Amino acid sequence: MKQALHPDLQRQLIGGADLLAEAENAARYLSGIMQEIHGGDWRVSVNHENCFAMVARDFSDKKGTPA
- Classified as helix, coil or strand, 10 is helix
Q: Render pLDDT for 13-61 as a digit per residue (tens, 0 to 9).
A: 666 567 788 889 999 999 999 999 999 999 999 988 888 999 999 998 6
- For residue 52, is it within any domain? yes
| DSSP codes, 29-66 | HHHHHHHHHH-S-EEEEEETTTTEEEEEE--SSGGGS-
16 assigned to some structural domain:
yes
Owning domain of residue 24: 7-64
Query: Is residue 2, in this structure, part of any structural domain at all?
Result: no
pLDDT of residue 25: 94
Q: What is the C-alpha separation between 43 and 46, in angstroms, rounded?
A: 10
The whole-number pLDDT of residue 2 equals: 61
**What predicted TM-score, i.e. pTM, was given to this entire model?**
0.65
* DSSP, res 9: H
* Structural domain count of the chain: 1
66 band by pLDDT with thresholds 50, 70 and 90: low
1 located within any domain: no
